[in-house]
Amino acid sequence: MNIENHKLGEELDSFNYKQEQDAILAILNRGNNVLLDMTSCTYVSSTGLRVLLYSKKVAASQGLNLYLVGLNEEVKDIMDTTGFDHFFDYFNTVEECLEKVGGK
């Protein structure tokens, strides 16, 4: 299983959503699963949540997956409160993700 890593910045919001969505979709269009490294991300807005959900749907439609890695407590709370936590596979570290899903 091919997995490509993409690292988010400090925020995923209305200011950078298009750039981040384009980067994620480019990985999916290459036929790779996405490991979204969120260790530096401290805030996800509603626009950012839409990017994550849309990217997950695109991945699923192509038989691929989107894995979220390194969510801090604030971002986890946002995901839990909105119910988005049920849609994604979460991992604490990149290494844990690669070990569990068998990526290369």
Helical axes 46-61 vs 17-29, angle rounded to 10°: 10
Identify the CATH number of the domain in which residue 33 sits.
3.30.750.24
Is the predicted pLDDT of residue 104 greater than 60, yes or no? no
Provide the pLDDT for residue 102: 80
Of 13, 10, 8, residue with least CA distance to 23: 8
Range of the domain at 9: 3-101
Element (H, E) at 73: helix 73-82
What total of structural domains would you count in the chain? 1
Q: How many CB atoms lie within 10 A of CB 26?
A: 13
Question: pLDDT tens digits, residue range 28-86?
Answer: 999 999 999 999 999 999 999 999 999 999 999 999 999 999 999 999 999 999 999 89
Q: Taken in order 56, 71, 17, 8, is the CA torsion positive or negative?
A: negative
Q: Quick check: 98 pLDDT over 80?
A: yes
Stated pTM of the model: 0.93
Confidence tier at 1 by pLDDT (50, 70, 90): low
